[in-house]
Amino acid sequence: MQPESVSTHHDPQSSAVAVAVVQFAAGTDPSANLQALREHVRAASGRGAKVVVAPEYSMFAVTRLDERVVAVAEPLTGPFVTGLGEIAREFGVYLVAGIVEQVAPESGRIRNTLVVLGPDAKLVTKYRKVHLYDAFGYIESDVVEAGAVEAPATFTVGAVIFGMQTCFDLRFPEGCRRVAAAGAQVLVLPAQWIPGPAKVDQWTTLLRARAIENTVYVAAADQCAPRGAGASMIVDPTGVVLAELGDEPGVLTAAVDLDRLDEVRTSNPSLILRRFAITERPSD
């Protein structure tokens, strides 16, 4: 395993990027969800955000997945992703959001996909959720096709590298470590974190742990009530919570500062000191 180099010099014009996290209650009308998201992105842009992170299933949200989610699924060229691109272009931001991606009309399945749209309205990259939510009485894999294990999807804004994971992926530290090892300095994590006993405490603990162990910023966008637990937050690479919400809709903003990241990684070079690699577990 090759150690990562730690840069200590950055262009001051690009070493800090304002990031926003959107928390809202997505429903079953994609057009209404798109309109609600547009207003949140407007607010985020007004605060100077250049990257805006929206929740998992921003396009269509239900408590339990069934034929409804299959019926509404769209390709990456569909109207919802196109609408996200128009919002990104209107406000000059990079917009990350969770969609219901169509596999094939006859398959009866979908993909749980994150898309990144740039200020030119074009698709920058995508991430298909790898770890499906087959836990706590839910079986996401009944309807969702897991994403292939591929090289981590990243995108760069200024000099800052962003990587992605989704919701249940948070419980698998090796997945987040792969993203950091690929060079990401910020982990964006859209979620529909289902409410339940101790779930908020687990969510906030895991978010801070992923930031600390990987020395990365974490920007986590959850849905709020009734289908999500809320508690969206932005965490710095030492685990300090820079901004957070309760269970109400809202927008958080904070600056990702690479000079601060360098300070943390110089004093705690854990990515360089690690002794173990990560390998894919063969599918059953």
What is the residue extent of each domain of the chain? 16-273
Would residue 224 show up in a list of annotated catalytic residues for this protein? Answer: no
Say if residue 193's pLDDT is above 70: yes
Would residue 129 show up in a list of annotated catalytic residues for this protein? Answer: yes
Rounded CA separation 27/207 (Å):
25
Other beta carbons within 10 angstroms of residue 193's beta carbon come to 27
- Percent of the chain whose predicted confidence (pLDDT) is above 70: 95
Rounded CA separation 136/9 (Å):
46
Is omega for the bond preceding 190 within 30 degrees of 0, making it cis? Answer: no
* Annotated active-site residue in 50, 74, 129, 176: 129
Rounded CA separation 110/155 (Å):
24
DSSP characters for 21-33? EEE----S-HHHH
pLDDT at residue 1, as a whole number:
35
Compute the C-alpha angle 223/198/62, nearest 5°.
30
Would residue 122 show up in a list of annotated catalytic residues for this protein? Answer: no
* Annotated active-site residue in 56, 101, 140, 244: 56
- Percent of the chain whose predicted confidence (pLDDT) is above 90: 90
Say if residue 5's pLDDT is above 60: no
Contacts 24+ apart (CB under 8 A), 129-137: 129/56, 129/166, 129/167, 129/168, 129/169, 130/169, 130/175, 131/168, 131/169, 131/171, 131/172, 131/175, 132/168, 133/167, 133/168, 133/194, 135/168, 136/194, 136/196
pTM of the model: 0.94
Q: How many helices (H) and strands (E) does the chain have?
A: 7, 12
Say if residue 11's pLDDT is above 70: no
> What architecture does CATH give domain 16-273?
4-Layer Sandwich (3.60)
pLDDT at residue 151, as a whole number:
95
Other beta carbons within 10 angstroms of residue 174's beta carbon come to 13
Of 6 and 255, the structure prediction assigns the larger pLDDT to: 255
For the CA atoms of 122, 125, 128, 131, the dihedral, rounded to the nearest 10 degrees, stands at -140
HEC states along 108-175?
CCEEEEEEEECCCCCEEEEEECCCCCCCCCCCHHHCECCCCCCCCCEEEECCEEEEECCHHHHHCHHH
Q: What is the pLDDT confidence band of residue 2, given thresholds at 50, 70 and 90?
A: very low
DSSP characters for 195-227? --TTHHHHHHHHHHHHHHHHT-EEEEEE--TTT
Query: What average pLDDT does the chain have?
Result: 94
Which SS3 state, helix, strand or coil, does residue 99 take? strand
pLDDT at residue 69, as a whole number:
95
Give me the mean pLDDT over the 6-22 stretch.
72
Rounded CA separation 281/147 (Å):
14
For the CA atoms of 36, 90, 232, 209, the dihedral, rounded to the nearest 10 degrees, stands at 150
pLDDT, tens only, 170-191: 999 999 999 999 999 999 999 9
Q: What is the pLDDT confidence band of residue 114, given thresholds at 50, 70 and 90?
A: very high
* Annotated active-site residue in 74, 101, 167, 176: 167
- Specify the amino acid at residue 20: A
